Structure 1
Amino acid sequence: MTRSNSRAMATCRLASAVALILCASPLVAAPAPEHDAAIAAGGEVMLDRVVVTGVRPVSALTYETDPRLPRQPIPASDGADYLKTIPGFNAIRNGGTNGDPVLRGMFGSRLNLLTNDGAMPGACPSRMDNPLSYVSPDTFDQLTVVKGPQTVLWGPGASAGTVRFSRDREVFAERTVKGSGALLFGDHGRNDQVADVTLGAPLGYARVSANRSDSDDYRDGDGNEVPSRWTKWNADAALGWTPDAGTLVEATVGRGDGEARYAARGMDGAQFVRESTGLRLEKRDIDGALDRIEANVYRNRADHVMDNYTLRTPNPASAMPMPMASNVERVTTGGRAAAKWVTEGFDATLGFDVQDSEHRRRSAGGRGTYATLPWTRDAVMRNAGAFGEVAWRLDAADRLVAGARADRAAARDARATVGMRATPNPTYGQTRREDLAAGFLRWEHGTGRGLGWYAGVGHTERMPDYWELFSATRGPTGAANAFAGVETEKTTQLDVGLQYRSSTLDAWVSAYAGRIEDFILFDYMPAMGGMGPTTVARNVDAAVHGAEAGIAWKAATHWKIDGSLAWAWGENRTQRRALPQMSPFEARLGVNWNDHERWSAGAVLRAVAGQDRVAPGQGNVVGRDLGPTGGFATLAVNGGYRVNDLVQLTAGIDNLFDRHYAEHLNLAGNADFGYPADPVRIAEPGRTAWVRIGVRY
C-alpha cells in the first residue's frame, strides 16, 4: 500500500468516526433547560459559535477571545497558531509547530508577548523556542491583543502591538468546584488532552491546569512527508487567598517540556523546559477615587536543547556531520505595580515595571556531552520603566485616551569570544544604556450600537533585543559588531478606524501608516567554508501602511456570514526597495449555521494572494525573503453538537480539497531531510480531519 493511499484511508476512517459520533449524539442529548425556557417564552437563544474562525475588535484596536474555544484550522498547538484567527496576524513557518508570530509584517520584540503579565522571551539565538512556543492556548482563559503603539501599560517597545494570554482570578461567594477539559484526535497522529480544575471557597481557591499535545510528521497536499512531529506538555497551579471580596493574594507555579522536529532547520528542539513562578496582589473596592492597586512579580526560566541526533540522523554531507548539541538557558525575572483611579470624568492608571534577563549557553559534539560542561553567560538585559495612561470622558459618545512611558534599558555583552573560531570579542564586558520614550494620543467616538470611529497617533522607541544584539554575525559597516553598531528603533504610527454595530450587522475597518527610523534589518550573505550563512544586522529607514476589515452579518435566523481582509505594505526607504517578510494580502469568508439549541455547522474559505514585493536575502533573525510566492486558496468545514450543558462535540476537515501550498513567511527545507540546495519552502498539511470533545462544568 502506498503512503498516499494509507493516508487517504486514515482520513476516511477518522471522518467516519466523526460522522458516527455526531449521528449517535442525539440518542443521549438533552437540551439545556434555560434554552427550553427561552424558546417557550418566544425568545431567541444565541449560543457561542462552536468553532472560532475569526476574531473581531471589541473596542478601538483591541481584540479579545477565549483561547479555550476550538478553532479552525485544527486547534492550535502554540500561541502563534491561535493568533492567526485575528486579521493581520501571520507566522513564520518552519514545520508543524512553534511558528514565530508576525503582525502587519512586524516581528520579534516589536510584539510585546506576555503570559499572566510576565515575559518568557525564550533562549535560542535563532528563536527556535520563541516566546509563544511555551504557550498552550487552551490552558488560558483570555487572549487580549492591542494593535499598534496604542497602549503603554504592558512594557516598552511594542511598536507592532501587545499580546496577553491570561488566566481568570475569582472571588467565590460559596464553595465551588468547576472545571473544563478536552480531548482532540486528528490525522497525522494528532492527540491532545487538556484539563483544568478549580476548587473555590470564600477564603480562597486552588486551581490546576495541565495539557499534553502530540503529533506525528504530517503529509502535504502531494502526499510528501514533512518532518514536523512534536510532543509538548504543561502543568500549572495557582493558590489564591481572598480574605474579602476586594483582596486577592495569588501564588503560581508551572513547568513544561517538549520536543519538536523541524524540516527547515539544521537542528531540532530536543528540550523545551519551562519553569515559572509568580506572586500577585490585588486590592479593589477602595474608598474614594482610587479604584484598585495591583502588583505582581515573576520568574520564568527557559532551558532549551537543540541537537541533530535525537529526532534525526546526522547528515555526513552537512556542516554538522557528527552529533552536535547546544544547550541555552534564559532566566527572566520582573515585576509590575499599578494603581487605577476612576471618577465620573476620567480613568487613570499609573505604575512602573522592571525586568532582568540573563542568558547563558554551552555546546559540544557527541551525544549528551554538553551536559558535562559548565555554563557560560553571554548576555544580560535589563529594563526599568514608568507609565501612565488616562481616558477622559468628554461626553456620552466621545473620549480622549492618552498615555506616556519612560524606560531605562541596558544590555551587557558577556561574550569573551564570538563565532565558530572563538575570535576575541571587541565589546566583551561593555554595557549599553539607552533612555527610551513612548506615548500616544487617541480620540474615540461612539459607544454601543451604531457608528463609531477612532483616530490615534503613537510613538515608541525600542531597544534592540537579544537576537538583534547578539545573534547576527556582523554589525553595520564600521562597527565592531551588532552590539556596538545597531541603533534603537523609533516608530511613529497613525491608526484610524470605523466600526458599525446593529442587531444584524457588525462591520469594522482599521488602517494604519507609520514611519520607522533605524528599522533593524538582517542581511543574509552566502555560506562560506561550511560555516553557514553570514548575517549582518543594520539600520534602515522604513515606511509601512496597511488595513484590515471585517464583517459579521446575521443573514437569517440561523445563518451568519463572517469575512475579513488583511493587507500590509512596507518599504525600505534607505534602499528604495520592498521591506522583507511582509505578509501577503489575505481574505477569509465564513458561513455559519446554528439552530440555537444543539447543532452548528460552518465553512471557511481562506484566500491568499501572491507576494511579488520581496527583498531576497533580507529579513530577520529567523528567516529571509526567499523570492516571490504564488497565491492559494483552501476550504475548511466544521460541525458541532452540544450534547448538554456540559459536553460539546466539534469536528472539522481542514484543506478539504487536499491543496498543495506553502505560506509566504516560511523557512527553506533543510538538506538533512533531502530538500535541495535551492530554497524550497515548507509545504503546509494536506487534508486533515479532526474531532474534539470538550467539557465544562
Structure 2
Amino acid sequence: MNISKNAKGHAMASEKTRPSLPSSRSAIALAILGLSGLQTVAQAQEAAESAMPELVVTAVHDHSPLHVVADPKQPRQPVPASDAADYLKSIPGFAAIRSGGSNSDPVFRGQFGSRLPILTNGTTMLGACPGRMDSPSSYISPETYDLLTVVKGPQTVAWGPGVSAGVVRFDREKPQLKDGEIRFSASALAGTAARIDQNLDFLAGNESYYLRLTANHSQSKDYKDGRGRIVPSHWDKWNTDVALGFTPDAQTLIELSAGTGDGEARYGGRGMDGTRFRRESAGLRFEKSAISPLLSKLEAQLYYNQADHVMDNFSLRPFKPSGHMSMPMASNVRRTTTGLRAAATWELTPATSLQTGMDAMNSPHDKRSGSAMQPYGSKPWMRDARFSNLGLFAELNRQLDLENKLVAGLRLDRAQAWRYPDASSSMGGMSMAAGNAAASNHRESSALPSGFVRWERKLAAGSTVYAGLGHVQRFPDYWELISPGNSSAVSGNAFASLKPEKTTQIDVGASWKAQDWQAWTSAYLGYVQDHMLFDYRGGMSSQVRNVNARTAGVELGGSYRLTPALTAQATLAYSWAQNATDQRPLPQTPPLEAKLGLDYRQGAWSAGALWRVVAAQHRYAAGQGNVVGKDFGPSAGFGLLSVNAGYSVHRRLKLTAGMDNLFNKNYAEHLNLAGNAGFGLPGGQRINEPGRTLWVRADLKY
C-alpha cells in the first residue's frame, strides 16, 4: 500500500473484524489431496452409477417454451469468472456489465437490475453497494447448485415481483438416497493469471435424512489484455453452505440450511475496490406432496440473507488522491433481506392445475464510513433505507386437448420504501417539520398488478409453437430511489417523483426436434411505460427519470449431428431498444452476437471449438445508462476463437484443457466500465478483456 504509516495503522484497525481469506497454497494443497483421496475411493466403489459430464458447454439451448434449463456443474467455455453473471453469458440473450475481473452484473435482452431477479433455492439475496459493486450475482457460486432455470420475459408470476426481463433460479434439488449412501463431486481448475478454483459437493444420508455440504474457493490475479497490458482484476472469494434434511416419507421434506462466504475484488473501472463480500444465509424449507386428490403439493419456506460489504481506496491499490477522495477512505454497507414464501398446487381436474401462493420480503439497508483517521469499525451503523413487498399470486395450467395448452397467471403486490436522512440534514436550506419529513420519506404502491397468458401447441415430430402476452408493474428499487445523486431529501427528487415501471410484452417462439438435429427461436416485442433511466451529469453523479421505451429482439439456436461423434451448434441473439420520449436509442443495449461451435466425442476423448462473433454497436445514448454504467459511444465488433479437449482417465475422473481467445485478440465488451485514473487507465475508454487464456480442469464424481 502506498499510504502513510499512520494511514496503514488505521487501515489495519478497520480490517480487524474482517475474516481472513483462505491461503492460496493451503487451498491448492487441500484440493490436490482431496482429489487424490476421492479418486482412490471412487476406484474402490465400482458399483456406483454416476457418470461424468461428457462435454464442455459452449452453447445452451431452450428447454421448453420460454424456459432454459442447464446443469451449472458442467464446465463451460470461455471459462467463467467466479460470479453467476459471467456464467449466464453462455445462454443466448445474456450479457454482463463488466468492470475488469469478477462480480459482473447480468443483463438479459438489454434489461438489468431488479428487472431480472436472481434467486437461490427460491430466496432473494440483494447486494448492499450503492453502485452495485457487490451485485446480487456476485454472491452466487454457480457450480455449487444442481439446476439453473431461466424463464424469459414476463411469463411467470410465482417467483417474486417485477419480473419484466425474466427470472433466474439456481436450485439444489431434493436428493433421493439409499441407506448409508454417500455421494460427492469435486473439481479443480488452474489457468492463466494464477487462476485457481476448487469446488466440493458432499452428500450423505438415507431415506429418512441427509446432510449436504457444498464449498468453493476461487482466485485470480490481474489478467493481461491482448496487447499484454495488465488490467486490475484480482479476486479471491469463497463460499460454504450446509443443509440438513429430514424425509420421513417419500412425499415430505423438511430442510434446514445455513451458509457463509467472503472475498475481495479489485476493480479497474471503479474508484474503490471491494475488500469484503461477507455473506450470511439461513433458511427453513417444507414440502409435502400427494396430500389429497385435490391438493397435490404444499410448500413453504423462510429465509435470511445478509450482505456485509466493505469498499476502500487503499487496501488493494496504491492510494492516489482524487477530486472527491483526498485521503484513504473506506465505506461499510449492509443489506439484510428476510422473507417467506408459501404455495399450494391444486389439481382441479385431470387436465387443470392451479398454483396459489404468497411471498413477502423485508430488506433494510445500513451504512457507515471511515477514513485513515477514523476507521469505519468505530462508527455506529446508520440506516438509510428499508424496502418491503407483499405479493399474492395464482398460476393456472390447462391442457385444452392433446396438442394445445393454456398457461396464465395473475399477481398483486404491495410495495413500500422508507428513506432515513441524517438527522442534521435540511430541506432546501430550511428545516422540515417532522410530520412533513415523515410523509416525504415513505412511499407505497398498494396494488401493483402483473399477469400473463400463454398458448402452447405441440405439432408433429416433437415440434412446439407458442405465443404469450405479459404485463408487469415494477416498483423502483434501492438503486433507483436512494442511490442516485439527486435523491437527497429535497422537493421533486427521484424518491418522491419516480413512477413504477410498466412493461407490456408479447413473446412468440417455436422449436423443432428430430433424431439428428434441433432448432428453436424466441422473439419479443414490448412497450415500457415509465422506464427508469439514469442521466449522468459528469463523473458518476446521476439523475433518474421516467421515459417511455419500445423494445424488440430475437434469440435462435440449433444443433446438428454431422456424424455419430461430431455435432455442430449455433446460436444468435439480438436486442433493440428505443427511448420513445427522447427519440434516441435506449442505453446499455448489447450488440448482435452469434456463436458457432463444434463438439466431438469418441470413446474417452472429447473436444470442442467455439467461435464467438460480436457485431459493432452503433446504437448508443452517450451519457445515459443505469446505476452501474453508461454509454460512452459506439463499440467495435470482434471475433474470438476458443478450443478445448478432454480425456476420461476413469469413468469418474475427467481431465479437460482449453484455450480461450486463441489468437490473443485485443477487445472490449460494449457493456463495460471505463478505466479508472487511480490505476493510470485512460478514462472514457472501456476496459479491455483478457487476452489468450489457458486452463486445465479436473472433474471427479462419485
Question: What TM-score results when the alignment is normalised by the length of structure 1?
Answer: 0.91
Letter in 2 for 1:299: Y
1:631 maps to 2:643: no
Q: Which residue of 2 aligns with 1:669?
A: 675
Which of 416, 433, 436 aligns to 2:444? It is 433
Q: Which residue of 1 aligns with 2:578?
A: 571
Q: Which residue of 2 aligns with 1:383?
A: 389
1:59 maps to 2:67: no
422 and 691 in structure 1: CA distance in 2 versus 1, 3 angstrom threshold: farther
Q: Which residue of 1 aligns with 2:548?
A: 541
Query: CA shift at 1:421, angstroms?
Result: 13
Deviations 1:288-334 (A, max 9, x none): 13211110000000000000011012113443131100000000000
CA contact (8 A) 2:203 2:210 kept: yes
* Aligned pairs for 1:180-329 within 5 A: 180-329=185-334
Alignment partners' CA distance in 2, 1:326 and 1:425: 28
Which of 393, 402, 407 aligns to 1:396? It is 402
Q: Which residue of 1 aligns with 2:464?
A: 452
Q: Which residue of 1 aligns with 2:165?
A: 160
Letter in 1 for 2:285: R
Q: Which residue of 1 aligns with 2:523?
A: 511
Which of 537, 548, 552 aligns to 2:559? It is 552
* Aligned pairs for 1:111-150 within 5 A: 111-150=116-155
Deviations 1:491-517 (A, max 9, x none): 000000010001111100110000000
CA contact (8 A) 2:523 2:554 kept: yes
Query: CA shift at 1:650, angstroms?
Result: 1.2
* Aligned pairs for 1:101-120 within 5 A: 101-120=106-125
Letter in 2 for 1:240: G
Which of 570, 584, 588 aligns to 2:595? It is 588
Alignment partners' CA distance in 1, 2:320 and 2:561: 56
The alignment partner of 1:695 has SS state of strand
Letter in 1 for 2:530: D
1:465 maps to 2:506: no
Q: Which residue of 2 aligns with 1:646?
A: 652
Query: CA shift at 1:113, angstroms?
Result: 1.0
Figure out how many residues of one structure are paired with residues of the other and give that number. 653
Alignment partners' CA distance in 2, 1:417 and 1:605: 57
Q: Which residue of 1 aligns with 2:98?
A: 93
CA contact (8 A) 1:590 1:604 kept: yes
CA contact (8 A) 2:352 2:399 kept: yes
Alignment partners' CA distance in 1, 2:203 and 2:448: 41
1:495 maps to 2:507: yes
Query: CA shift at 1:33, angstroms?
Result: 9.8
CA contact (8 A) 1:117 1:164 kept: yes
The alignment partner of 1:626 has SS state of coil
Q: 4+ residue runs of structure 1 moved beyond 6 angstroms?
A: 32-35, 417-427
CA contact (8 A) 1:444 1:453 kept: yes
Alignment partners' CA distance in 2, 1:362 and 1:428: 22
CA contact (8 A) 1:476 1:538 kept: no
Alignment partners' CA distance in 1, 2:242 and 2:428: 43
Query: CA shift at 1:449, angstroms?
Result: 4.2
CA contact (8 A) 2:52 2:654 kept: no
47 and 507 in structure 1: CA distance in 2 versus 1, 3 angstrom threshold: farther
645 and 317 in structure 1: CA distance in 2 versus 1, 3 angstrom threshold: same
CA contact (8 A) 1:323 1:366 kept: yes
CA contact (8 A) 2:427 2:489 kept: no
Alignment partners' CA distance in 2, 1:416 and 1:216: 40
Structure 1: gaps (5+ residues)? 1-24, 36-45, 528-532
Letter in 1 for 2:410: A
The alignment partner of 1:57 has SS state of coil
Alignment partners' CA distance in 2, 1:163 and 1:428: 38
Query: CA shift at 1:443, angstroms?
Result: 0.3
Query: CA shift at 1:476, angstroms?
Result: 12
The alignment partner of 1:643 has SS state of strand
Query: CA shift at 1:124, angstroms?
Result: 0.2
Letter in 2 for 1:456: G
CA contact (8 A) 1:334 1:356 kept: yes
CA contact (8 A) 2:618 2:635 kept: yes
The alignment partner of 1:254 has SS state of strand
Deviations 1:86-110 (A, max 9, x none): 0000000001000000000000000
Alignment partners' CA distance in 1, 2:661 and 2:410: 45
Letter in 2 for 1:354: A
Letter in 2 for 1:577: R
Alignment partners' CA distance in 2, 1:383 and 1:33: 50
The alignment partner of 2:338 has SS state of strand
Alignment partners' CA distance in 1, 2:330 and 2:247: 47
Alignment partners' CA distance in 2, 1:167 and 1:535: 39
* Aligned pairs for 1:524-539 within 5 A: 524-527=536-539, 533-539=540-546
Alignment partners' CA distance in 2, 1:419 and 1:263: 34
Letter in 2 for 1:616: A
Question: What TM-score results when the alignment is normalised by the length of structure 2?
Answer: 0.90
Alignment partners' CA distance in 2, 1:670 and 1:404: 46
Letter in 1 for 2:182: V
Alignment partners' CA distance in 2, 1:235 and 1:621: 30
Deviations 1:632-682 (A, max 9, x none): 0000001111222211111110000000000000000000000234x0101
Letter in 1 for 2:443: R
The alignment partner of 1:625 has SS state of coil
Alignment partners' CA distance in 2, 1:510 and 1:383: 31
Alignment partners' CA distance in 2, 1:421 and 1:669: 36
User: Which region of structure 1 is more displaced relative to structure 2, 286-295 or 409-418?
Assistant: 409-418
155 and 85 in structure 1: CA distance in 2 versus 1, 3 angstrom threshold: same
CA contact (8 A) 1:414 1:428 kept: no
560 and 418 in structure 1: CA distance in 2 versus 1, 3 angstrom threshold: farther
CA contact (8 A) 1:187 1:688 kept: yes
Query: CA shift at 1:172, angstroms?
Result: 2.5
Structure 2: gaps (5+ residues)? 1-38
Q: Which residue of 2 aligns with 1:561?
A: 568
Alignment partners' CA distance in 2, 1:49 and 1:443: 35
Alignment partners' CA distance in 2, 1:56 and 1:421: 54
Alignment partners' CA distance in 2, 1:85 and 1:423: 52
Alignment partners' CA distance in 1, 2:430 and 2:423: 4
511 and 479 in structure 1: CA distance in 2 versus 1, 3 angstrom threshold: farther
1:336 maps to 2:341: yes
CA contact (8 A) 1:62 1:145 kept: yes
Deviations 1:524-558 (A, max 9, x none): 0125xxxxx42110000000001000011111111
Query: CA shift at 1:479, angstroms?
Result: 5.0
Percent identity (aligned): 50
